[in-house]
Chains A and B, each alone.
Chain A
Amino acid sequence: GAVVSQHPSWVICKSGTSVKIECRSLDFQATTMFWYRQFPKQSLMLMATSNEGSKATYEQGVEKDKFLINHASLTLSTLTVTSAHPEDSSFYICSARDLVKADTQYFGPGTRLTVL
């Protein structure tokens, strides 16, 4: 089956620094990629939807200047958490929608961010 990778799988950073998370679709092209955040014992909350070559669409309450999303190609999207603070510590999961099989969305393994 299709694979979505994320890098890094975990990261620990100091408060105030920025962290970039990569999401790649490995064997398919994805016009649309999604970023989710999951706090412990909670569900996945959609943060934003990104389409290749255009600006991301952010969900209500998500700060676009804090969570920068770039979707430069059909196989790569990045999420940068700028000036991270302890409350940004979470599990970040990306997913990619297959260009051909439009109703199929594949999820990455997630990135655990811990901000000290």
Chain B
Amino acid sequence: SQQGEEDPQALSIQEGENATMNCSYKTSINNLQWYRQNSGRGLVHLILIRSNEREKHSGRLRVTLDTSKKSSSLLITASRAADTASYFCATDVQGAQKLVFGQGTRLTINP
């Protein structure tokens, strides 16, 4: 079952611009994670933010979490062509011991 929505479904920007993706979910969570997937390949774990955290940074990535609104955002700053991929949020559902994925955002960085 899908946990929630991601928007936009697709995003196309110029290299150097910032990219923001949003994720909403429905249940209580232990943490929320963001993954990247290049076409036809496996997942790459980007960042994990716990339910008691509000913001986290890792390199050019900035993740926010608002548990009152059940939403999260992923910001990629100074985008590069190599950032072109699909990005998924995944929620670690409280009490269920499982990771459920959002629908994903297809990001295209134009050189």
Contact = CB atoms under 8 A, between A and B. Distances in A.
A45 B48 contact: no
Q: Is the interface of B mostly helix, strand, loop or mixed?
A: strand
A32 to B, nearest CB: 6
Given A60-B1, A103-B30, A110-B42, A44 B88 contact: yes
Interface string B17-47: 0000000000000110101000011110100
A107 B100 CA distance: 13
Contacts of B45: 106-107
Q: Is the interface of A mostly helix, strand, loop or mixed?
A: strand
A97 interface: yes
Given A59-B1, A60-B1, A109 B99 contact: no
A95 B101 CA distance: 13
A103 B43 contact: no
A91 B38 CA distance: 13
Q: Kindly state the interface size class of chain A when it binds its partner.
A: 20 to 34
Contact of B99 (A41, A95, A112): A95
Interface of B: 1-2, 30-31, 33, 35, 40-43, 45, 48, 50, 88, 92, 97-104, 106
23 contacts: A36-B101, A41-B106, A42-B104, A43-B2, A43-B103, A43-B104, A44-B43, A44-B88, A45-B1, A45-B2, A46-B99, A46-B100, A49-B97, A49-B98, A60-B1, A91-B40, A97-B97, A103-B31, A103-B92, A105-B99, A107-B35, A107-B42, A112-B40
Given A42-B103, A93-B42, A107-B43, 18 more contacts: A36-B101, A42-B104, A43-B2, A43-B88, A43-B103, A43-B104, A44-B88, A44-B101, A46-B98, A91-B40, A93-B43, A103-B50, A103-B92, A106-B45, A107-B35, A107-B42, A108-B42, A109-B41
